[in-house]
């Protein structure tokens, strides 16, 4: 208890079980928790499942891939808690479909959820953390960032993009010496690891135990191989 005591942590995509487990683990270790999702009911259920004290818990709906929604959310968090220390960009949407069956509209929808949304999280998360002296951004992504898989061309492209985008953001923050770290957690696209294991990795990356780790990743699952 207390590994992230009094840190303020935002978890997006709260309807996902991995995101929910991460929120609970962070709350158990002393963080104030904000859970959001594009679906209001899902966000409320995630908040109730977290079992955090009401004064340390905030939840709400947030439109995906919307800059205005991110700006509004960050303003509400800073108004309520005064700062943002941790951002967990929720797991991506996974869609298995052959290249010939994947429409351009499908591809663009996945890009909105899996590239634009975490990019906006990085942009506004970094800005908020700079205002309070630093923090940790954790992008939940897929092992497809490292190796291709039949039927997942769009997810491979998106995951690889988030992986390198995370590294670039980490390097930029390091050059600016602003105290913001950016790392990724990669899971297998078909054989999901134990949620508690992923949540433990999230707590580690959110805590000061990983204060010297940035532009890195923690990988889970048999489908993840070395680059």
The values of phi and psi at residue 84, to 5°, are -130, 120
The values of phi and psi at residue 61, to 5°, are -95, 140
Residue 3 domain flag: no
Residue 225 domain flag: no
CA dihedral 66, 81, 2, 202 (to 10 degrees): 10
Residue 58 domain flag: yes
Average of per-residue pLDDT across 63-79:
98
**CATH number, residue 143:** 3.40.50.720
Residue 182 pLDDT level (bands cut at 50, 70, 90): very high
26 pLDDT above the threshold of 70: yes
pLDDT one-digit tens code per residue, 90-101:
999 999 999 999
Residue 51 pLDDT level (bands cut at 50, 70, 90): confident
| Cα four-point dihedral sign 35, 146, 190, 207 | negative
What count of other Cβ atoms lies within 10 Å of the Cβ of residue 87? 30
49 pLDDT above the threshold of 50: yes
Residue 227 domain flag: no
Mean pLDDT computed over every residue of the chain: 94
The domain tally of the chain equals 1
Angstrom distances, CA of residue 99 to CA of 32, 144, 146, 158, 190: 42, 16, 19, 14, 18
Predicted local confidence at residue 222, as pLDDT: 61
For the residues of the chain, what is the DSSP string, one character each?
Answer: --TTTT-EEEE--TTSHHHHHHHHHHHHTT-EEEEEESSHHHHHHHHHHHT--GGGEEEEE--TT-HHHHHHHHHHHHHHHS---EEEEPPPP-----GGG--HHHHHHHHIIIIIHHHHHHHHHHHHHHHTT-EEEEEEEEGGGTS--TT-HHHHHHHHHHHHHHHHHHHHHHHHT--EEEEEEEE-SSSPPPHHHHHHHHHHHHSGGGTT--S-EEE-STT----
Q: Which residue has 């800059």 as its token pair?
A: 67
For the residues of 40-62, what is the DSSP string, one character each?
Answer: HHHHHHHHHHHT--GGGEEEEE-
Residue with the bigger pLDDT between 46 and 226: it is: 46
Residue 175 domain flag: yes
Residue 210 domain flag: yes
Residue 1 domain flag: no
Half-sphere exposure (CA, 13 Å, Cβ side) for 177?
0
Predicted TM-score (pTM) of the model is 0.95
pLDDT one-digit tens code per residue, 114-154:
999 999 999 999 999 999 999 999 999 999 999 889 999 99
Predicted local confidence at residue 180, as pLDDT: 98
Residue 42 domain flag: yes
Predicted local confidence at residue 224, as pLDDT: 44
What is the domain range of residue 104? 8-219
Tokens describing residue 116: 């634009």
């Amino acid at each position: 208890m207390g590994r992230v005591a009094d840190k303020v942590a935002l978890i997006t995509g709260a309807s996902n079980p991995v995101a929910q487990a991460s929120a609970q683990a962070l709350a158990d270790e002393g963080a104030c928790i904000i859970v959001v999702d594009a679906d209001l009911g899902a966000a409320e259920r995630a908040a109730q499942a977290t079992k955090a004290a009401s004064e340390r818990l905030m939840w709400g709906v947030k439109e995906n891939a919307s800059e205005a929604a991110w700006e509004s959310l960050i303003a509400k968090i800073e108004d309520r808690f005064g700062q943002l220390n941790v951002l967990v960009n929720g797991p991506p949407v996974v869609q298995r479909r052959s290249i010939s069956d994947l429409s351009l509209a499908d591809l663009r929808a996945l890009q909105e959820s899996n590239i634009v949304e975490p990019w906006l999280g990085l942009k506004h998360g970094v800005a908020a953390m700079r205002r309070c002296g630093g923090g940790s951004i954790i992008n939940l992504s897929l092992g497809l960032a490292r190796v291709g898989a039949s039927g997942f061309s769009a997810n491979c492209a998106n995951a690889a993009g988030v992986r390198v985008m995370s590294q670039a953001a980490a390097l930029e923050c390091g050059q600016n010496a602003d105290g913001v770290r950016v790392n990724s957690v990669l899971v297998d696209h078909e054989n999901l690891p134990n949620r508690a294991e992923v949540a433990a990795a999230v707590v580690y990356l959110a805590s000061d135990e990983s204060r010297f780790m940035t532009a890195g990743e923690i990988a889970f699952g048999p489908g993840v191989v070395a680059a």
